[in-house]
Structure 1
Amino acid sequence: MKDLQELLSRIEPCSAEWEEKAWERLRSQIRPRGSLGQLEVIGARLAAIQRTLSPSVGKKLIFTMAGDHGVADEGVSAYPQEVTGQMVYSFVQGWASINVLARHAGADVRVVDCGVAADLPADWNIIHRKIGKGTANISKGPAMSREQAIEGLLLGARLVQDACSQEGYRLFGTGDMGIANTTPSTAIVAAYSGKPVARLTGRGTGIDEDGFRNKVSVIERALEVNRPDTDDPLDVLTKVGGFEIAGLAGAVLGAASVKAPIVCDGFIATAGALIACKLAPAARDYLFVSHRSQEVGHTTMVEILGLRPILDLDMRLGEGTGSALAMNLVEASARVLMEIKTFAEAGVTDTGH
């Protein structure tokens, strides 16, 4: 717990002074004021995060956190649990959606085994940090121990901190892999929002109507059995979270602690981001939501965070695919801030519009 408190104590709000400096430059560029919309907003936030008008986001890294869930035994997913390990293999081979989109974005991908149920081969090019072989069944009791939740948070944080300080990465992204992980993610947003579970539950990997009703019932039972305390984010994570969700939350905390921007993917990654921002509200300053997921509960997550998704492309895959796509626009926003000349620099008459 001491290490977690030390991590949280290092997170401070972004610089309002540098954000205002960025807006002064953006307002004076050779174009109509406000004409680049959210690209300006993102650029100003990058300046506030890195405390410079020349933010560096060129070296990009996505962490795809993998873990299994005991609640899969309740039939909440259309896919069997062994698919998690099989998909990790596809990431290792470079075949999967995240590999393709990360290559397009010029981003590296590192897959982390936070808690896959299968024993993954030691020679796979992944980060082996298994907290346990899948969480316990949340419909019957807590997903994990409090100690395991802290372990997951610190794991994600240290991975980002080390990549930043030792390897020079400046822009981070998060993604997930884990069969049945929309179930704990829905439980998290239901706990924080107080909305009926049925209004927050999606069909995940494509369950039918009977499967949907069963999933809603399982999540309701998980909340009733565990009664997560929303005044204690660690309790929420412990009772209805996941090992990969802990790692995702930790990655956000780690980025905030080293003043680096981080882009979260869709539903599961945003569940982790929500836990992170409940633990350290200032972490929100460093967070960008890559896209609006088709998972129905995601809109409520984003509303709680008070952030605007960068993209809306009807996606619901995970893996970090949204993060990879949004990274292109984050980098573009940095270039807008840095490279478009001001009226004074270009010798152009400023009409003030």
Structure 2
Amino acid sequence: MPELRLPEVVAANNPTLVFELHQLFRSTLVHDDALGRVKGIAQQLAHIQHVPPRTFESVALQEPQLVVFAADHGICDEGVSAFPQEATRQRVLHMLRGKGSTNSLATLHGFQVSVVDAGVASHLLPADHGRTVVPLLLRKIGYGTRNMVLRRAMSSTQVVAALHAGMDVVRHLPGNVIALGDVGVGSTSCAALLLVRLCGVPLEDACGRGSGLDDSQLKIKHEVLQLALKRHRKATDPLDILGAMGGFEIAMMVGAMLQAASERRAVIVDGFVATAAALVARALSPNVMDYLIFAHRSAEPGHRLMLIHLQVQPVVDMELRMGQGVGTLLAWPLIKAAEHLINAG
């Protein structure tokens, strides 16, 4: 494997700050649990920003960024998705032109949106670029991953390149909040396989309907994923598992999480696929968990199991069945409320 240079992520938790925060909320609330999950988010933000005791007014979420990583997956050749692979390109172009739920909510909440071509299976430039309003960052590792039923989805070189690309994207973004989303036909298959192999969850519990499979299609998806698991049964190391059964966008999100955490930025994690990236990031650097805020719990059954395994609570639960960062934007008002409560305390 080529040399991998991962950033150092230090633990965010400060024992002194834990006590100060406890005293703050104790003095302003009827009882400790009055604010429920919002209190936990407020505490996490204070730790991430390393706020000195008794100076809580300096907690500030500035220039929030939403980065949507796009890629295609070779396993789609096996019929695991209800949509053709071309749908990835169409969704990306829709976003680049400023349309759809992601852009609407981003405008509402003041997020800058960037789309990263991590590995879309077609050209997006130059013909499409002149009609876009959202920045497209070209970090293409390949034109979709390989079919993991037949061979490894990514080579070791591609895995390292994708991790480094995700890190580089974050380095060049302003602000102290990075929200991560994804788009790509077949991505839930990769997420389910990473859940099975990294967490020991049975495939039947991890494999869901994705973007709307019917019963017969779900059966095919389960059978195909079983074949992929069998082919890559010797993959046990986190990076080896990622390369065998992951995707370019997942690998880039891993790199993005680690880089953002190393810079003490808050990372808002979207749905099932982004949380799969969090599983890998935690395996590589456990301290990264201090910086991850999990936006929501999706309708995909495996997502609930991921969150249980990570021992985290999502901000909201609205049974979403899409990525593209929409969940992070819907959770944002509560995260901002947590920031305000720290400052008001």
Q: Output the TM-score relative to the length of structure 1.
A: 0.91
2:13 is matched with 15
The one-character-per-residue Cα deviations of 1:162-205 (angstroms, maximum 9, x if unpaired) are: 21xxx3x1111000000011111110001122222112111111
DSSP 3-state at the match of 1:179: coil
Query: Are 1:265 and 1:322, in contact at CA under 8 Å, matched by a contact in 2?
Result: yes
Matches within 5 A, 1:169-208: 169-208=175-214
What code does the residue aligned with 1:20 have? F
Cα 1:82–1:25 change in 2 (3 A) is same
Cα 1:18–1:295 change in 2 (3 A) is same
Query: Are 2:2 and 2:157, in contact at CA under 8 Å, matched by a contact in 1?
Result: no
- Count of aligned pairs between the two proteins: 333
What code does the residue aligned with 2:164 have? L
Q: CA deviation at 1:336?
A: 0.4
> In structure 1, what is the Cα distance between the partners aligned to 2:46 and 2:262?
16
Residue 139 of structure 1, aligned match among 109, 131, 149: 149
> In structure 2, what is the Cα distance between the partners aligned to 1:206 and 1:241?
21
Tell me, which stretches of 5 or more residues in structure 1 are unaligned? 341-353
Higher mean C-alpha displacement, 321-330 vs 274-283: 321-330
Matches within 5 A, 1:153-172: 153-163=163-173, 167=174, 169-172=175-178
Query: Are 2:13 and 2:290, in contact at CA under 8 Å, matched by a contact in 1?
Result: no
Matches within 5 A, 1:249-264: 249-264=254-269
Q: CA deviation at 1:327?
A: 2.0
Query: Are 1:62 and 1:320, in contact at CA under 8 Å, matched by a contact in 2?
Result: yes
Q: CA deviation at 1:51?
A: 0.7
DSSP 3-state at the match of 1:4: coil
Query: Are 1:191 and 1:228, in contact at CA under 8 Å, matched by a contact in 2?
Result: no
Residue 220 of structure 2, aligned match among 214, 218, 221: 214
> In structure 1, what is the Cα distance between the partners aligned to 2:86 and 2:77?
12
> In structure 1, what is the Cα distance between the partners aligned to 2:33 and 2:2?
45
Q: CA deviation at 1:251?
A: 1.3
Q: CA RMSD in A?
A: 1.5
DSSP 3-state at the match of 2:182: strand
Q: CA deviation at 1:12?
A: 1.0
Cα 1:145–1:20 change in 2 (3 A) is farther
2:100 is matched with 96
Q: Equivalent pairs: percent with the same residue? A: 37
Determine whether 1:242 maps to 2:241: no
2:37 is matched with 38
The one-character-per-residue Cα deviations of 1:238-281 (angstroms, maximum 9, x if unpaired) are: 00000001111111111111011101100011111111111100
What code does the residue aligned with 2:60 have? S
> In structure 2, what is the Cα distance between the partners aligned to 1:64 and 1:118?
17
1:47 is matched with 46
Q: CA deviation at 1:209?
A: 1.2
> In structure 2, what is the Cα distance between the partners aligned to 1:55 and 1:132?
40
> In structure 2, what is the Cα distance between the partners aligned to 1:33 and 1:224?
49
DSSP 3-state at the match of 1:28: helix
Q: Output the TM-score relative to the length of structure 2.
A: 0.93
What code does the residue aligned with 1:24 have? Q
> In structure 2, what is the Cα distance between the partners aligned to 1:257 and 1:158?
13
1:329 is matched with 334
Query: Are 1:19 and 1:47, in contact at CA under 8 Å, matched by a contact in 2?
Result: no
1:4 is matched with 4
DSSP 3-state at the match of 2:4: helix
> In structure 2, what is the Cα distance between the partners aligned to 1:174 and 1:302?
16
Determine whether 1:283 maps to 2:288: yes
DSSP 3-state at the match of 2:337: helix
2:26 is matched with 27
Q: CA deviation at 1:25?
A: 1.5
Query: Are 1:202 and 1:297, in contact at CA under 8 Å, matched by a contact in 2?
Result: yes
Q: CA deviation at 1:303?
A: 1.5
What code does the residue aligned with 2:221 have? K
Cα 1:272–1:3 change in 2 (3 A) is same
Query: Are 1:11 and 1:280, in contact at CA under 8 Å, matched by a contact in 2?
Result: yes
Q: CA deviation at 1:37?
A: 1.4
